[in-house]
Amino acid sequence: MEALPLAVSTGWASGVNAYACVLILGLLGRFAGADDVPHALTTTPVLIAAGALFLFEFVADKIPYVDSAWDAISTVIRPTVGAVIAALLSGEASTLQQALIATTGGLVALLSHAVKSSLRLAINTSPEPVTNVAASSGEDVAVAGVVTLAAFHPEIALAVVAVLLILGLIGVYLAFRFIRRGYARFKAWRDRRSRPATGSSAV
């Protein structure tokens, strides 16, 4: 169960950007002496594939509406990657422990993916692209920071991820509450505009 903090942390990162998580883990394991990183993630083919997919997502994730479409496509991919990484991290654990760790990694990835996707839908209600670029860049930095911290200090990374998940859930709640109120005001204004004028002078 020593792999559980690392599995949860990388699960969160996979839910936000799976390819960045794989790429950073592989680079840390291959060049930075991160011993807990599975060897399979440090191989050249995995690094090349993860790097190419990360570059594609780096661009797509910063374009309004394209980012939400990409999130929809990634709904299965990100939790799956989180579960696979967690299973690899479990190493020589028993079958039951491997299943538990892999399931935990996948569920955390699914939760963080849901938070990311929901916030992006809320952001896309604004047509300007600056917010999308800022949000995506912030996510890239957060993933890099969490994965790097997890590779060397998994317990600290676990605490950081817990805080990020809580803040993300709060952000989703506040964003959609704001959108709902804004839509209600818009609907009331539209109804007033479309209502026929009452009271006409008699002839």
CA dihedral 51→52→54→59, nearest 10 degrees, is 140
pLDDT tens-digit readout, 57-104: 999 999 988 999 999 999 999 999 999 999 999 876 678 888 899 999
User: pLDDT digits over 132-191, tens only?
Assistant: 899 999 999 999 999 999 999 999 999 999 999 999 999 999 988 877 776 666 566 666
Percent of the chain with pLDDT over 90: 70
> Using one digit for the tens of pLDDT, what is the confidence trace for 9-43?
999 999 999 999 999 999 999 999 999 899 999 99
In a domain, 202, yes or no: no
Ranges of H-type helices in 90-153: 95-123, 130-152
155 within some domain: yes
User: Residue 200 above 50 pLDDT?
Assistant: no
- Where are the alpha helices (H) located in 41-94, listed in sequence order? 44-60, 66-89
Whose CA is closest to 119, among 157, 170, 70?
170
Residue 105 lies in a domain: yes
d(CA 137, CA 146) in angstroms, rounded, equals 14
Cα dist from 140 to 2, 95, 169, whole Å: 26, 33, 19
The per-residue pLDDT for 201 is 45
Residue range(s) defining the domain that contains residue 48: 4-194
Mean pLDDT (the chain) is 89
Q: What is the DSSP letter of 21?
A: H
**How many structural domains are present in the chain?**
1
For residue 183, the SS3 value is: helix
